[in-house]
Amino acid sequence: MTKAAELAKMGEVLTNSQIGGRRNIVINGAMQVAQRSTSETGKGDADGYFTLDRYKINVGATSAGRFTMSQSTDTPNGFANSLKIDCTTADTSIAAGERLTIDYRIEGQDLQQVKKGTADAETMTLSFYAKVAGSATDFVVDLMDNDNTRQVSKLFTFTTSWVRYYWTIPADTSGAFDNDNANSLNIQFWLHGGSTYTSGTLNTSWASSTDANRAVGIDSIFSSTSNDLYLTGVQLEVGSQATPFEHRSFGEELGLCQRYFIKDETDYKAFTDSNTDGGSKAVNFHFPTVMRTLPTMTASADAGNVVFSHRRDSGVAVTIGGSVNARSYINGGYTADSEL
């Protein structure tokens, strides 16, 4: 979009109050937060959150292709980080059910302002910065409404230079988003797909989801080990005009990400032991925020790293109810996962 076109749209943006308050529905759009890892190799055979927070790798039938996923410092001006996918093992024999997408998942209760499924449904705009290296240039982005099994797609051609891309997504008066903490909407960047997903006609308007119409026209990131894809500045907002990317502080983005995943590397976590016979213990974990749902917890310390430190008064153990009143510690941190 030219500068003149952006200025011509500014009146509409102001009228719709699109620049007021928090505009970007996407968390970690600038790829600042990577609690799990900044680089993971050999990916492509399983789903998962591996590096940058909130961006999930989703695969279909297993491909022989592999890639490294990392937080890169190759960026457009105004950004410090990008998400990089680097093909390390090629696979040009694509089975029908194969797919590889980068997914961003959104809770339904964070989408009520879209008014989807009503006569007042809003247009949305998705914008992002991307560039590629190698021969794979054509990729599809789609939105999947998981509450109503509806979907819309757009084909993009990326270049070897950083460009900001725009997609005005039509309003959908069919199917409201659920008002809950479940996964209502996926933004999916399609990097690889077999005929199951590419053999139909691309859904460029909202329609009932048909797999064959989801990723028509894409190249494969696995076509050559020279292929790389870079992505940053992901923004989804209400309205028909892409506004400047909404930068947030690292601390704010980290706090928003911790609703879904927490990695605490503090050396010691206190727990109490009121039993001298090795019975149950109560471990005290302090979460920095309320998580989306009851998380899956993993302690990073093993039994060999548990240090017992009994409270004593003048060398005598303090007892309550006949047992030692002790304060003990786990030497190591923990992770808590409540991802969509």
Task: Return the CATH number at 152.
Answer: 2.60.120.260
Considering the domain architecture, whether residues 99 and 169 belong to the same structural domain is answered as yes
Tell me, yes or no, whether 99 and 172 share the same domain.
Answer: yes
Contact 84, 72 (CB under 8 A): yes
Q: State whether 26 and 147 are in the same domain.
A: yes
Q: Which of 207, 228, 257 is the last residue of a domain?
A: 257
Last residue of a domain, one of 231, 257, 283: 257
Q: Which domain holds residue 324?
A: 261-337
pLDDT at 321: 45
d(CA 61, CA 212): 15
Rounded to two decimals, the pTM is 0.88
Strand partners, 228: 86, 133
Half-sphere exposure (Cβ direction) of 298: Cα atoms closer than 13 Å: 8
201 & 310 share domain: no
C-alpha dist (Å) from residue 148 to 73, 111, 226, 310? 38, 14, 39, 57
Q: What is the largest CA-CA distance in the chain?
A: 80
Task: Say yes or no: 96 and 191 in one domain.
Answer: yes
Q: How many domains does the chain have?
A: 2
Q: Please tell me whether residues 249 and 266 are part of one structural domain.
A: no
| 104: three-class secondary structure by DSSP | strand
Q: Judge if 48 and 144 occupy the same domain.
A: yes
Q: What is the DSSP letter of 212?
A: G
16 and 40 inside one domain: yes
C-alpha separations of 65 from 80, 211, 245 in Å: 29, 21, 33
Of 234, 257, 280, the residue at which a domain comes to its end is: 257
What CA–CA distance (Å, rounded) separates 338 from 334? 14
Give yes or no: residues 213 and 303 share one domain. Answer: no
- Detail the DSSP E strand segments found in 108-227: 124-133, 138-145, 150-157, 163-169, 183-193, 207-208
Query: CA–CA separation, 105 vs 185, rounded Å?
Result: 6
d(CA 36, CA 31): 13
CA–CA separation, 267 and 105 (whole Å): 32
Which residues, in sequence order, are CB contacts of 206 under 8 Å at separation 6+? 145, 150, 151, 152, 170, 172, 174
- The neighbour count for residue 60, using CB atoms within 10 Å, is 19
Separation CA 25–CA 15 (nearest Å): 20
For position 273, what pLDDT does the model report?
53
User: Tokens standing for 323?
Assistant: 């047992």
pLDDT in tens, the chain (340 residues): 565 655 555 545 444 445 567 899 999 999 999 999 999 999 999 999 999 999 999 998 878 999 999 999 999 999 999 999 999 999 999 999 999 999 999 999 999 999 999 999 999 999 999 999 999 999 999 999 999 999 999 999 999 999 999 999 999 999 999 999 999 999 999 999 999 999 999 999 999 999 999 999 999 999 999 999 999 999 999 999 999 999 999 999 999 999 999 998 876 555 555 555 555 556 667 789 999 999 998 876 554 444 444 444 444 444 444 444 444 555 567 889 999 9
- Beta-bridge partners for 168: 125
**Are 133 and 96 a contacting pair, CB within 8 Å?**
no
Q: Which pLDDT value is given to residue 278?
A: 52
